[in-house]
Amino acid sequence: MKIGLIFSTRFLYPIMLRLLFIAFIAQSCSRKEEKVHTPSLADIYITKAQDQTILEQERDSLSTLAYRQAVHEKQPRNIFLAAGLRNRVLAASKPDSSLVFLRNYLDDSQKRNDTLNSANAFYELAKHYDALQQSDSAFKFYNLSREKYEQRKDSLQIAEKLLLIADIYRRYNDYFGLESATTDVLKYIPELPKLPTDTSYLSIAYNNYGLAYSHLGDDANALRYYNLALKLFHDPLAIATVRNNIALVYMEEANYEKAIPILEQLAVQPDVLKDPKTMGMVAGNLGLCYFKTGRPNAKEWIERSVAEREKAGDLFGLIAGYLHFSDFYFNTNKAAARSYAIKALTIANRIHSNDDRLEAIMRLRKLSSGADRETYSSLYISVQDSINKVRQHARNQFAKYRFDATKASEENMRLKSVASESAIEIQRRKAYNSLLFLGICSISIIGVLLYFLLRKRHKHEQVLAVINTESRISKKLHDELANDVFNAMTFAGSQDLADTENVDRLLTDLDSVYARTRDISRENSAIDTGDAYPQHLRQMLAGYSSDKLNVIIQGIGDVKWNQVAAEKKVAVWRAVQELMINLKKHSGASLSAVRFNTNQRAISVIYTDNGSGIASTGVVAKNGLSNVENRIATIGGTVTFESESGKGLRVIITIPA
């Protein structure tokens, strides 16, 4: 049961969103200070409409004039401010008109090709649907806003929208989605924050990781990220809530003796005592800890929790308090336990909190017998099925929106690639210009490779492996292409290209560079880890056979590849590929064998060749074989090298099945 954790999360996000708002205002103010200008008519209308002392009707009129004048003056920043002001006025007085205004605002912004206001219109629409609890539509428009800000290269706004997307994942208990969205956020925040906004976003991201890992059962990482968040938060109530979350991790482990000192310290802090909502949360969890450890003052703290939450009007918190009381009386006073569970269910029904309904119904089912027990059992199943359907539908929608966005991006890349290939074919006939374009093409290939390599890394702990791969690719480009490209440029610049023989030689050199670029691309392309994986693996290995080298492949079909995780397939592929590249470049072997063995506990790959081998004094790294060890280590496997110089090489790779 994670009741306390759920409620502390609900409480923390309003604090987080306040921090986001403050950060955004600070950012906006700093931009305004960059340039002092004479107020325009739109500026005057905006200032007057922001006056809280004027009548609602006058504010409505002024906000309309402010928006129209800003559009007339074609000032994107003023349009941005006036649109936000106009929408707030409508949302407060004419909610139905708010949606109409936002759609018109979006259409007008897109017609003007105004990316700033298109991004803001998507954001305002997302907030509108979020307030209506239409999370799938909110997710869609937050994502569209993020894409527009990506066009503007506004990293702070991108990070903010990703945090809002992460919050939607949290609300639907999609903690893998929460982790993934939070990881995306970190791409836009410097590791060492330079601005207040960086610090705010990073602290929220760390707390997100704590929430995700605590719900995914990784308590060690949850505590690690909660403690990182504590170092960055400055808001005393946010700090108190994160410390409460740390206590909850210990409570989930039934380590109440560690949780109690944390909660006792929070319960006497002045900022916590002044805030009934926070105090109610802390008191409730402290009372639960006392109850679980048999302390006599448990009831006193649970009563205080309920009183504080009633004072704060915290209905979610009241549900938690009543459920704590139901647990408290469960073994000693069934009637009281049932009464508190019914109170919790009544509030949960009123505020449409299905998770809390489940918790209350579960207790009532345990406290009932006969027909009542059957009734609550049926109700529990019905509510749970309803929740599962709603959340699964939402997750499917979220996945579809992300897939569509990714697909659109990939299609743009494909079209760019097609255009590049056509351009290369044309430029090859233009001598020096063809060389320039080839350099652009090479850079594009590197970018695409790095993109897909980074996409393959699902956990941030594997960043080091990505860096090693990037270095290897860069080194290969430098070693194998740089000199040839330089020589071709020198030749083109120093020779008479009107001479047909010189042109033919230059084109031959360019063909060679192009072929090597294509080989490098093939060696580092994405790997199909589906049903065709064993066939492609065999084809890859067989591709190294030649008149001078015989490659023997055994046992690929004996391994049940469909039961092997995708990341392990990728690691095996890359490791074996690295061995074959080493074989081709360094060993001078005429015969090589790759044998695959499997049992219930492990899969082994045994590689042998009759080449020059490697010395026993640590030449592995020089031959590039350290990459093999690094890759296999990331999936919990081992690599053993057996060789003497001049006597061939034997490598045994073992990975968990």
176 and 27 within one domain: yes
627 and 513 within one domain: no
Query: Which of 480, 502, 523 represents a domain boundary (last residue)?
Result: 523
Position 576 confidence tier, pLDDT thresholds 50, 70, 90: very high
- CATH number of the domain at 626, please: 3.30.565.10
Q: Which helix (H) or strand (E) holds 36?
A: none
Which amino acid makes up residue 43? Answer: D
* pLDDT exceeds 80 at position 418: no
Average pLDDT over residues 436-443: 75
* pLDDT exceeds 70 at position 19: no
Position 295 confidence tier, pLDDT thresholds 50, 70, 90: very high
Query: Which of 475, 497, 523 represents a domain boundary (last residue)?
Result: 523
Residue 4 belongs to a domain? yes
- The number of helices, as runs of H, and strands, as runs of E, in the chain is 27, 5
Average pLDDT over residues 620-639: 77
Euclidean distance between CA atoms 416 and 418, whole angstroms:
5
Give me the pLDDT at residue 600, please: 86
Report the DSSP beta bridge partners of residue 607: 594, 651
> Taking the CA of residue 14 as centre, how many other CA atoms within 13 Å lie in the half-sphere pointing to its CB?
7
567 and 648 within one domain: yes
- Residue 462: exposure state from Cβ atoms within 10 A (0-12, 13-18, ≥19): middle
- 646's CB contacts (< 8 A; 6+ apart) are 612, 613
Total Cβ atoms within 10 A of residue 357: 23
Return the percentage of the chain with pLDDT > 70, whole number: 78
Q: How far is CA 99 from the centre of its chain?
A: 30
Residue 267 belongs to a domain? no
46 and 149 within one domain: yes
- 97's CB contacts (< 8 A; 6+ apart) are 90
pLDDT: is 14 or 225 the higher one? 225
Euclidean distance between CA atoms 199 and 292, whole angstroms:
37
* pLDDT exceeds 50 at position 4: no
* pLDDT exceeds 90 at position 100: yes
pLDDT: is 8 or 301 the higher one? 301
Give me the pLDDT at residue 22, please: 47
* pLDDT exceeds 70 at position 2: no
Average pLDDT over residues 359-382: 89
Query: In this predicted model, what pLDDT tens digit does every residue of 326-349 receive, in sequence order?
Result: 999 999 999 999 999 999 999 999
Domains held by the chain: number: 4
Give me the pLDDT at residue 511, please: 67
Total Cβ atoms within 10 A of residue 122: 24
Give me the pLDDT at residue 237, please: 93
* pLDDT exceeds 70 at position 619: no
Tokens describing residue 334: 């069934």
For every residue of 478-513, which 3-state class applies, written as one string?
A: HHHHHHHHHHHHHHHHHCCCCCHHHHHHHHHHHHHH
Weakest mean pLDDT among 394-398, 490-494, 650-654: 394-398
Residue 349 belongs to a domain? no
590 and 620 within one domain: yes
* pLDDT exceeds 60 at position 147: yes
Position 504 confidence tier, pLDDT thresholds 50, 70, 90: confident
649 and 546 within one domain: yes
Residue 323 belongs to a domain? no
pLDDT: is 206 or 510 the higher one? 206
- CATH number of the domain at 137, please: 1.25.40.10
Return the percentage of the chain with pLDDT > 90, whole number: 47
175 and 98 within one domain: no
Query: Which of 220, 253, 286 represents a domain boundary (last residue)?
Result: 253
Residue 285 belongs to a domain? no
Contact indicator for 118, 106 with CB cutoff of 8 Å: yes
Give me the pLDDT at residue 29, please: 46
Residue 2 belongs to a domain? yes
- Which residue in this structure is represented by tokens 């009633």? 310
- Residue 16: exposure state from Cβ atoms within 10 A (0-12, 13-18, ≥19): buried
88 and 14 within one domain: no
**Among 408-412, 474-478, 545-549, the range of highest mean pLDDT:** 545-549
* pLDDT exceeds 70 at position 211: yes
Average pLDDT over residues 192-213: 89
Query: In this predicted model, what pLDDT tens digit does every residue of 247-274 receive, in sequence order?
Result: 999 999 999 999 999 999 999 999 999 9
Report the DSSP beta bridge partners of residue 642: 650
* pLDDT exceeds 70 at position 470: no
Helices (H), 94-174: 95-111, 115-131, 135-151, 155-171
**Among 337-351, 410-424, 446-460, the range of highest mean pLDDT:** 337-351
172 and 27 within one domain: yes
* pLDDT exceeds 90 at position 536: yes
Average pLDDT over residues 546-556: 93
Q: What is the CA radius of gyration of the chain?
A: 32
Provide the domain limits for residue 607: 533-656
565 and 635 within one domain: yes
550 and 516 within one domain: no
The backbone torsions φ and ψ at residue 293, rounded to the nearest 5 degrees and listed phi first, read: -100, 5
Give me the pLDDT at residue 240, please: 95
Residue 354 belongs to a domain? no
Position 594 confidence tier, pLDDT thresholds 50, 70, 90: very high
Euclidean distance between CA atoms 266 and 255, whole angstroms:
18
Weakest mean pLDDT among 90-99, 129-138, 248-257, 393-402: 393-402
Total Cβ atoms within 10 A of residue 281: 32
Give me the pLDDT at residue 95, please: 83
Sheet holding 591-598, edge to edge: 550-554, 591-598, 602-609, 649-656, 638-643
Angle at the Cα of 410 from the Cα atoms of 406 and 414, rounded to 5 degrees: 170
pLDDT: is 178 or 454 the higher one? 178
Give me the pLDDT at residue 586, please: 80
Name the DSSP class of 604: E
46 and 27 within one domain: no
Weakest mean pLDDT among 157-171, 309-323, 370-384: 370-384
Contact indicator for 284, 317 with CB cutoff of 8 Å: yes
- On average, the pLDDT of the chain sits at 83
